[in-house]
Amino acid sequence: MMPQIQFWKTLLQALQRGQSVFLALVVGHTKGSPGTTGAKLLVTSEGTIAGTVGGGIMEHRIIERATQVLQGGSFRPEIQTLVHCQEGTGQKSGLICAGSQTNLYYLCSPTSDATLMDQLAVLLGQDNPAILWISPAEMAIRPGSVSLRQPIIHLTYSAEAWLYQEQLFNRRRLAIFGGGHCALALSRVMEDLNYAVCVFDTRPNLKPCQQNASVPLQILEDYKTAGETLSYPEITCVAVMTTEVCTDVRALLGVVRRPFPYIGVMGSPAKLSTIWAHLQQAGVSTDDLANLYAPIGLPLNSHTPEEIAIAVAAQILQERDRWEFWRQDRGDALAQAI
């Protein structure tokens, strides 16, 4: 999966080179569909393809149609619902996975949309919320705020009109405490999974995480203050993997009583036992300790930083369906009639 910010930057770069871009967005889906709400695909007039809306013969046909539209030069935005089965009613996708998906198709022009896409890329890069609007008449960016009780993607439509709205804000978020080799590996894996990642450390001359320039690295005097800097604790996962017991304890004291949905701690049983003792001495309750994931990650007998990163990522993916904000983000069958 291409990270969302990279997808939009790819689209922007094509527009800046004077290319038109055919954009396909999955705006709603039902169970079984290979294309899920939020998936995106682009095809440029030079033939570059990025992203995916489900693959297979369906995507092949969409790319073929995109090529024809790009050669024609004009296109009215449209909504298409495809059914992934051979029998029954509805337009067939060519797939047999079950379920259905609703796609939006839009032709981006270098003259009318390049400035808009530049604005979108800046907003995402600065982590500033806004709303992307697409209708049959236009694509626009409207001021907006983070609304965790609303789906990140929302489509309203009738026989006469439709409106697509997408919150330009990444609800997949991870804060890593400690910037060593395991943090570097984890930051790369989670970025590939479209997570907004930040790293905290107390060492000014840190080397490993500096190798991932796309992830912000914040140097602090005390790990305990890091949790206070995170704007959206209720949707941010935390991975604690510092170099010492005392710094792990400081990091945990800053987050354990806040509403983070996932707090994982890396360490051996002996190390974790010592950390627990320090936390209890500091007044952390048994209930708060029980909410921690320790040792962090699925039990895969991981040894290398890369293996540990996969184990942690897998555990976060396994746990996320329990979180209300994630169910809103996933959004099965979001289309509503107006």
Please tell me the predicted confidence (pLDDT) of residue 307: 97
Neighbour order of strands in the sheet with 217-219: 217-219, 196-201, 173-177, 236-240, 262-265
Please tell me the predicted confidence (pLDDT) of residue 108: 96
Among 12, 76, 103, which Cα is nearest to 50's?
12
Quick: pLDDT tens for 257-291: 999 999 999 999 999 999 999 999 999 999 999 99
For residues 257, 262, 265, 268, the Cα torsion angle rounded to the nearest 10 degrees is 120
Quick: pLDDT tens for 152-163: 899 998 877 899
Please tell me the predicted confidence (pLDDT) of residue 325: 61
The mean pLDDT value of the chain amounts to 91
328 has a pLDDT exceeding 70? no
SS (H, E, C) 80-91: EEEECCCCCCCC
Please tell me the predicted confidence (pLDDT) of residue 303: 86
- For tokens 């092949």, name the residue: 60
Quick check: helix, strand or coil at residue 35?
A: coil
329 has a pLDDT exceeding 60? no
How many CB atoms are located within 10 Å of the residue 102 CB? 24
Among 208, 206, 198, 242, which Cα is nearest to 222's?
242
Stretch 157-180: mean pLDDT: 91
Looking at 29-33, 71-75, 197-201, 235-239, which range is the least confident one?
Answer: 71-75
249 has a pLDDT exceeding 90? yes
Q: Where are the alpha helices (DSSP H) in the chain?
A: 4-16, 56-72, 114-125, 181-192, 245-253, 269-281, 286-290, 305-319, 324-330
Q: Any bridge partners for residue 337, and if so which?
A: 157
Please tell me the predicted confidence (pLDDT) of residue 324: 64
Stretch 180-185: mean pLDDT: 95
Sign of CA dihedral 133, 164, 319, 189: negative
C-alpha distance from residue 220 to each of 145, 266, 273 (Å) = 29, 20, 26
6 has a pLDDT exceeding 70? yes
| For residue 295, cis peptide bond before it (omega within 30 degrees of 0) | yes
Q: Which residues contact 44 (CB under 8 A, 6 or more apart)?
A: 14, 19, 20, 21, 22, 70
Stretch 239-261: mean pLDDT: 97
Question: How confident is residue 112, by pLDDT bands cut at 50, 70 and 90?
Answer: very high
212 has a pLDDT exceeding 70? yes
302 has a pLDDT exceeding 90? no
How many CB atoms are located within 10 Å of the residue 188 CB? 17
